[in-house]
Structure 1
């Protein structure tokens, strides 16, 4: 079976981590994978090549939409018929033409995978209204062309698929899967990482992992952390990532006078090691499909303070605390410090997460069966 996987293929992207984890976890020898990077970047080409995956790239739609559409048309006209299944990983359907091209020139076996509950990129109100209209049009045009519809959460399905599909339950939720053992808690590694970061034994280390953009809401997180420092002056914040708001984040850190309490690290392949050093993750995202960071942090036994606007899936109640973005920064700070001061001794939650269905082996098998059902 020859499958084309379409996605953004950016190192800081949760979607990309999903593809490498879940599709990369399929152990069937008769499966050949090619990927199409639609964000205009070759930064994941080496990892794809290491897996012996074919790698192609086209310009990003948010760079030059015309070039993106032309190159999409050219790519699918030349290559679509080579693939038994084409697996689109999407956050929205305003840009639906590539799926139309894949269907028209290919074997009519399309898998559509929803990864979010709103648009992944920023825009003003007028632009977002236009995108919402195009997304609704795209949903209706694409729906009859798609062989199998899947989503990382029920909320992501509702965003991506038509009301008729949702009402008739003609989709399947397959949550993100991770390599659980990679994130299990290790106290000796925790001590090594905290020493490396210069964190005192009695200091609390909060973390946030993700693209620095409006949707991930790190600018709001800085305001929350300023209030946490009032409650806990020795606290530190570790921000791991990169993105369009990096300069704004640095500027705000300095303007609030909290930059000496913040550690900024570019996105790394060793996030699991940094989880060991943390005591909690704070994620006030405006929207998420099903955050990979949420799964990784729980496995590592971290408290997780999440925006209640995020899709949380099945989660461990003693670790995850949804909080409203309508609440004040001070309210978030008091909730966070109260829970962290009363937390249980840290342990690994690998077995708990496996029971909830987040083992990559399980999700990889489910994706492979979707491919078989699409044939």
Structure 2
């Protein structure tokens, strides 16, 4: 069976990329071959990993300069490679992929919802609300990362929730790793607040920096780590410099050791404007981290008592008080069984996805 994953990119700390790679690593490659089609190429170590495992990577030509060329390339790949399934993890940009998949008789065409909002800006939201029904029209199967994300995009239609599962063993809390890493990074006596995610509007980075700046007034010994990169890199770094807290804020970029960095943090901070179900939220819980999360993030993510939600319209002082209060929740050795039973263990989840692929192929073939 051949499956084509359509994803925005394979940037480290990108939620959709993390989701895709977690399943790719654990799929039985003797039975299911997975290739990737990217909207944009961004430097990442995932490329070598995929190619070394036998997967192919296709990158969409710049559609802004030559839309006809981009569409022709999609049509050509889908015609020549003869995939059995296209698993499209982009909604609005998914239109040409799903259209040409149908044109080239790819039997299973999956549209996967990873969000609960189509855009940050109103005009983009209006545009995307016009485009998304077209993607849904050309798909014949719907997936979602959470019930909230599924209900948002598919509105009463039938869909399957595929959990943002992870390799639990890599993230379980380890005191020795914490002590060693905090010493190495010279934060032994610091309070470490951390965020994992792209530097983009959705993740609300400017607000996050404002909250941290307020926290510094209470605890000048605090530091803030932002793990991940994105389109707001320069803008947010300039803002940090402008308000004079650059000695306390560290932009760690795209890291392959995020599982260890969680160990060294004291609180994970996710003040997103919206989310489907953030992979970082599951990783953080497995690491036993106290987490403060905006209430725009689905409550389906809360599996342990370490997660606390707060509304974005609360004052900066209230956010700081919540960070301080939840940081006192010091038991990091959690009952991992809760996360396994909730369906976030990657091996069991990958088997579920594999079975679903096989069932879809069988049902659509029989229905012909």
Task: Answer whether TM exceeds 0.5 for this pair.
Answer: yes
User: What's the offset of the Cα at 1:22?
Assistant: 1.5
Question: Quick check: 1:148–1:370 contact (8 Å CA) kept in 2?
Answer: no
Question: Quick check: 2:4–2:83 contact (8 Å CA) kept in 1?
Answer: yes
Question: Quick check: 1:231–1:337 contact (8 Å CA) kept in 2?
Answer: no
Per-residue CA deviation, residues 38-73 of structure 1 (Å, 9 max, x unaligned), is 224464422211221111111366xx1x63564234
User: What's the offset of the Cα at 1:337?
Assistant: 0.7
User: Which of 186, 206, 210 is residue 197 of structure 2 equivalent to?
Assistant: 210
Matched, 1:352 2:351: no
Question: Quick check: 1:4–1:87 contact (8 Å CA) kept in 2?
Answer: yes
1:106-255 to structure 2, matched below 5 A, reads: 106-119=105-118, 124-135=121-132, 139=133, 141-161=134-154, 163-165=155-157, 170-201=158-189, 203-255=190-242
User: Which of 330, 349, 352 is residue 363 of structure 1 equivalent to?
Assistant: 349
1:222–1:126 CA distance, 2 compared to 1 (3 A): same
SS of the residue 2:203 aligns to: coil
1:317–1:186 CA distance, 2 compared to 1 (3 A): closer
Matched, 1:374 2:360: yes
Question: Quick check: 2:61–2:69 contact (8 Å CA) kept in 1?
Answer: no
Distance in 1, matches of 2:17 and 2:278, equals 12
Per-residue CA deviation, residues 137-177 of structure 1 (Å, 9 max, x unaligned), is xx2x343543321100111112322x351xxxx11111101
What is the root-mean-square deviation in Å for CA atoms of aligned residues?
2.1
Question: Quick check: 1:353–1:359 contact (8 Å CA) kept in 2?
Answer: yes
Per-residue CA deviation, residues 110-143 of structure 1 (Å, 9 max, x unaligned), is 12211111236x6x433432233323xxx2x343
User: What's the offset of the Cα at 1:186?
Assistant: 0.7
Question: Quick check: 2:263–2:287 contact (8 Å CA) kept in 1?
Answer: yes
Question: Quick check: 2:110–2:141 contact (8 Å CA) kept in 1?
Answer: yes
Question: Quick check: 2:195–2:268 contact (8 Å CA) kept in 1?
Answer: yes
Distance in 1, matches of 2:193 and 2:275, equals 20
1:45–1:60 CA distance, 2 compared to 1 (3 A): farther
Q: Point out the more displaced range, 322-331 or 105-114.
A: 105-114
Distance in 2, matches of 1:238 and 1:322, equals 20
1:117–1:68 CA distance, 2 compared to 1 (3 A): farther
Distance in 2, matches of 1:160 and 1:69, equals 28
Distance in 1, matches of 2:222 and 2:308, equals 19
| Alignment match, 2:40 | 39
Distance in 2, matches of 1:125 and 1:8, equals 21
SS of the residue 1:260 aligns to: coil
Question: Quick check: 1:2–1:31 contact (8 Å CA) kept in 2?
Answer: yes
Matched, 1:87 2:87: yes
1:78–1:179 CA distance, 2 compared to 1 (3 A): closer
User: What's the offset of the Cα at 1:181?
Assistant: 0.4
User: What's the offset of the Cα at 1:83?
Assistant: 1.0
Please report the TM-score for the alignment, with normalisation by the length of structure 1: 0.89
Distance in 1, matches of 2:24 and 2:88, equals 12
